[in-house]
Amino acid sequence: MKREQSSSAAPPTSGSDVARRFVVAAAQAGRRLDLVLADCIGSVSRTQLARHIAEGAVGLNGRAAAPSQKVRAGDVIAWRPPAVRQVELVAEDIPLRVVYEDAHLLVVDKPAGLVVHPAAGHAAGTLVNALLARCRDLRGIGGELRPGIVHRIDKDTSGLLVVAKDDATMNALGADFKVHRVRRVYEALVVGRPARASGRIDTLHGRDPRDRKKFSIKVKAGKRAVTNWRVLEEIGEAARLEAELETGRTHQVRVHFAAMGCPLLGDTTYGRPPRDRHVRAIGKQLGRQALHARVLGFHHPRSGQWMQFASPPPADFLAALAALRELAQ
């Protein structure tokens, strides 16, 4: 899709005075308007864009359109981002396990179930709200809704995160994450046993064309995703695996292990219910995907010193592991 500079003199209907314009390529013809626009913008979800279309922030050839309307080659899509909705970030006294802290950053061991930053459906009770109570000078660093947040892990994944306390640290760490100069190692319990003891998965990674809430390797265009994995323990018809990331895409480990035929225990998004009712019961008892961010390493932005932290899996993960071991005996 080609981009055009807006030449419209019409007054804005939303939060930006300048619309971004895109020309539909031949390869995109016949697809839904919201899907094409989501692929083009990248940073805005299909759900949000559907709302923007309904609010009149998107035009197709100068006219209003429905999210499901099919586009043709040469069509011009204009998107004028709506005004940012003001959200009051409130400091909340939520317990945090901080494994390291200095004047520039801190490393947190996030529990499963804690959302990293406010988003639709999670306006409060997040890691950001907890951080504001601990470090009151975080506001504005890295964006109003994500102060200090350099990288994320899923709500139901536990483990290590680094948080920046100032803009210079935020920028430096962000640059290192972008060029993959950090070390991230995950531990997982999976249903099924890999055919080999170790391997490397190198795929494209993008929104699932059939379900925009999910990600997939079966995409025509996407970002590169690389996971190095090895078996730590075979447990009957399950296994404990280690995954070291070369890239950090959303749901990367979950998508790659599912594509390998070994979905995470308890992952209802990318896995199917295990055939063994006892394994199903263990996953149900866990109540989340069995994934833990165990190791995090990076160069300190100020000193340049390599720093590496490790966190053992939490009690619920270990209980599931013990139950699988007992079942395999």
Rounded to an integer, what distance in angstroms lies between the CA atom of residue 80 and that of residue 43? 14
* Residue at 168: amino acid letter: A
Consecutive H or E run containing 33:
helix 33-41
Place of tokens 């709500």: 155
Rounded to an integer, what distance in angstroms lies between the CA atom of residue 292 and that of residue 188? 6
Query: b/e map of 154-192 (b: 16 or more CB within 10 Å)?
Result: bbbbbbbbbbbbbeebbebbeebbeeeebebbbbbbbbb
Residue 322 has phi, psi (to 5 degrees) of -65, -40
Between vectors from CA 297 to CA 293 and to CA 300, what angle results, nearest 5°?
Answer: 135
Burial zone of 44 (CB within 10 Å; 0-12 exposed, 13-18 middle, 19+ buried): middle
Measuring CA to CA, which residue among 250, 282, 219, 225 is closest to residue 157?
A: 250
Consecutive H or E run containing 105:
strand 105-110
Active site residue 75: no
Catalytic residue among 39, 154, 156, 316: 154
* Residue at 9: amino acid letter: A
Facing residues of 291 across strands?
A: 188
Catalytic positions are 154
